[in-house]
Amino acid sequence: MKVLLDIKDSKAPFVLELLKNLPFVKAKNLTPYKAKVLEDIRDAVEEMNLIKAGKLEARDAEELFRELLSKNDTEI
């Protein structure tokens, strides 16, 4: 089983050392980029679940596409 933990920075070294000393646990650090990607995916899945449950309204695909294009133009 894989588990993703969100640990306060000040406590991370302690928790990582503890996990590494357990013979049945493999622990590795995520890069900030990978952590952000995982967080964004988790948020997207939560949003999709809310849409499916009828608790959130879906966005129009063309509107989303235009928004993404305009964000890309401002970053260039």
pLDDT along the chain (76 residues), means of 10: 89 93 90 91 94 92 88 65
pLDDT the model gives residue 10: 96
Put simply, whether the predicted model's pTM sits higher than 0.85 gets the answer no
pLDDT the model gives residue 75: 58
Distance CA 9, CA 72 (A): 32
